[in-house]
Every structure is written in C-alpha cells, then in structure tokens.
Structure 1
Amino acid sequence: MSVDTETVRRIARLARIRISDEELKPLARELSAILQWVEQLNEVDTENVPPMTSVEEDMPMKKRKDIVTDGDCVEDILANAPAREGNFFVVPKVVE
C-alpha cells in the first residue's frame, strides 16, 4: 500500500497535528514503509498457532492484600504544603 501526500495531510488533520508542506513527502514515504512491513506479516502462516493473551501463559497475577491504611505519613505529606491547619491543607476560597 502506498500513502500519498493528501492522505498524510488528512491523517494529520484528523490527529490535529500541524505538518508543513516540506514534511509531507518524507512522512508519506515513512508511512508507506510501515504499511509495507505490516503487509509482510500477512505472509506468516498462523494457521495452527493458538491466540495468546500474554507472553507467559501460566504466570499467575501478583496480588496484594486489600488492606485499608492511613499511610501513617501525615507529616511527610504536609511538609511541602504552602499552608496547613492541623493535619489539613489550607487552600484559597474559590466560591463566594
């Protein structure tokens, strides 16, 4: 598949990317090369290959215990606060 400059311009507009006219031809060549590489994947025989969900099939997912804690680090959290009152951040009033 070959990508022309008008297709690159349309893709850029849809992706909301600003591309100059000088960049159109090089990008068209790059996109064409990428699509040719992807087309080569269709030549691979995958008839007897089962679908994979991950690289390592039988690897169990690591889980942690779902325990609620307060973190016990109030002072560390509030150390960089510009203003605080007790164990709370003080923020400017935004609603009158």
Structure 2
Amino acid sequence: MFGGIIVISIEELKDLANRLKFDMSEEEYQTLQKEFEIILKQMDLIGQIENVDTVEPMTFPYPVSASWIREDVEQEGLEIEELMSNIKDRMGNFIKVPKVVG
C-alpha cells in the first residue's frame, strides 16, 4: 500500500527525461504530470483493497489447451555462410548496422 498520494514534480520529470535523453515542451510536462497523478491515485486505490494477500493469484481464468504447440525437436542449424549470404554489409561473421546512438 502507498499510504498516501505521491506527487511527482515537473523538475523530477525533466530530470528523468534528461537521463533518458529526450525533451518535451512545458505543456507536455504538465500533461505528463497530470497523467502520473491520475495513475498514482489509481494505484493508491488499488493498494487500499483489503485481504489481497489471502487471494491466490490468477494468471488466466480459463483452462487453456496447448495442443497447437509442437514438441521441440533438435535439428541441424544453418551454416554461417548460408545465414550471411543475403547480408549487405558485414564484417567477418558479424552484421554491420548503422549507429543508432550519439
């Protein structure tokens, strides 16, 4: 249980955004802060439900037949040259991809 509503400041959101390497407008930060407030209130309400510890967790309420799942069968893998034959840009046995981070 949370025991009270947690407030996330815009400064905390900006710090988090900075650490995640993105930025937003002031309006977007305000919207995000309001959305967090709603989510945290809902989490607090859920935390107030009594006797949750006595209920067995339920992953899926209906019995599931997995007859469509095949058995794992060990088989021979492909050779590296066969796997790499369609690769446009490679370096030895590695695939070269464009750099995606600064």
Classify the TM-score, shorter chain: 0.5 to 0.7
- The answer to whether the aligner puts 1:10 opposite 2:26 as a matched pair is no
Structure 1 residue ranges (4+ consecutive) displaced by more than 4 angstroms after TM superposition: 90-95
Any conservation in 2 of the 1:2–1:32 contact (CA below 8 Å)?
yes
TM-score by length of 1: 0.57
Which ranges of structure 2 fall in alignment gaps of 5 or more residues?
A: 1-5, 78-83, 92-102
- In the alignment of these two chains, the number of paired residues is 77
1:65 maps to 71
1:43-93 deviations in Å (ceiling 9; x for gaps): 1121320123x21475354530334489xxxxxxxxxxxxxxxxx946678
Residues 92 and 38 of structure 1: CA distance in aligned 2, closer, same or farther (over 3 Å): closer
Which ranges of structure 1 fall in alignment gaps of 5 or more residues?
A: 71-87
Residues 49 and 7 of structure 1: CA distance in aligned 2, closer, same or farther (over 3 Å): same
Give 1 or 2 for the bigger CA radius of gyration.
1
Any conservation in 2 of the 1:3–1:28 contact (CA below 8 Å)?
yes
Residues 35 and 93 of structure 1: CA distance in aligned 2, closer, same or farther (over 3 Å): closer
* Identity level (%): 18
In 1, Cα distance between equivalents of 2:40 and 2:89: 54
In 2, Cα distance between equivalents of 1:93 and 1:16: 29
Which residues in structure 2 correspond to 1:9-88 (within 5 Å)?
9-45=14-50, 46-52=52-58, 54-56=59-61, 58-59=63-64, 61-62=66-67, 63-67=69-73, 68=75
Higher relative contact order (Cα pairs below 8 Å, separated by 6+ residues): 2
Q: CA RMSD in A?
A: 3.3
